[in-house]
Amino acid sequence: MSTHDQHESFIKTPQQLITVIITAFAIPIFGIILLVQLVIAERTADPAAMTPENIAARIQPVGKVEFGNASGGGSAAGQSGEQVVKAVCATCHQAGVAGAPKIGDKAAWGPRIKLGQAALVQSALKGKGAMPPKGGNASLSDDDVARGVAYMANQAGANFKEPAAKAPAQKPQAQAAAGGAADGKKVYDSTCTACHTAGVANAPKLGDKAAWAPRIKQGMDTLVQSATKGKGAMPPKGGNASLSDADLRAAIEYMVSQAK
């Protein structure tokens, strides 16, 4: 066999030459297109994640607010850390409102955990920054607050021990408060105060006439609808979906009365 025969090209016709040339250009171009798509592709967040309904579902309280039992620290006493967080703390810590460290965010909780459990509990009891004392729910016992702090810190890598739950002491049944304003104050103290006392996320502060004036002009029905459905950073029913329509209206009537 001759040397020429051994090195004979497989391209024997012009059509084959054209095919080889096109293929040689097409393969790299196709690879570049795939690479560009991979680089510029972005994972997009679920557009429905921040709808009022989904926000309410994420911060759904475990139990309902009871107004009949106790005064001061009785009505919410004896809850687990998870229950306290879902009913009170999640309003701000779920979404990181006003710089609150998000639940499960190890980077945000790391330096706080280093302060120790006792220091974190004291901050939660006394309030710090935009966070009011006891997260705005004065009915929580000190142990309830400590359990809530332990639960959130543990979600971010801490190993805090929750105080053992104690059975709440039996107290005389409080007489029903007369009028919507009195009931409304209780709803405000248990739910609304977390944001409206300090003006978290631009919530109109209790008693701030300038902030409430344009809202009051909209009428009570409009205010109730906004609170029911949620508006801006405020989740539906202030994050407490267990509130009845009457309780919610009473709380709004109370806040409006303080701004007149």
Domains 52-154 and 180-257 share a fold: yes
Mean pLDDT of the chain: 76
User: Where does residue 176 rank: exposed (0-12), middle (13-18), buried (19+ CB within 10 A)?
Assistant: exposed
Show me where the domains of the chain are located: 12-40, 52-154, 180-257
For residue 136 the two structure tokens come to 């705005």
Q: Which of 15-19, 57-61, 95-99 has the lowest mean pLDDT?
A: 57-61
Q: Are 88 and 140 in contact (CB under 8 A)?
A: yes
Q: Which of the two residues, 158 and 241, has the higher pLDDT score?
A: 158
At residue 96, the pLDDT reads 81
At residue 9, the pLDDT reads 64
Q: Are 238 and 91 in contact (CB under 8 A)?
A: yes
Q: Considering the entire predicted model, what is its pTM?
A: 0.47
For 52-154, give the CATH class.
mainly alpha
**CB atoms closer than 10 angstroms to residue 168:** 16
Helix axes 220-229, 245-257, angle to 10 degrees: 120
Q: Which of 30-34, 158-162, 166-170, 197-201 has the lowest mean pLDDT?
A: 166-170
At residue 171, the pLDDT reads 45
CA distance 219 to 208: 17
Q: Are 156 and 110 in contact (CB under 8 A)?
A: yes
Phi and psi torsions of 231, nearest 5°: -155, 130
Q: Which of the two residues, 140 and 171, has the higher pLDDT score?
A: 140
Q: What are 221-232's pLDDT values in tens digits?
A: 888 888 888 887
For residue 221 the two structure tokens come to 């029905």
Q: What is the mean pLDDT of residues 99-103?
A: 88
Q: Which of 49-58, 74-83, 226-235 has the lowest mean pLDDT?
A: 49-58
At residue 7, the pLDDT reads 55
Q: What is the mean pLDDT of residues 43-65?
A: 56
CATH homologous superfamily, domain 180-257: Cytochrome c-like domain (1.10.760.10)
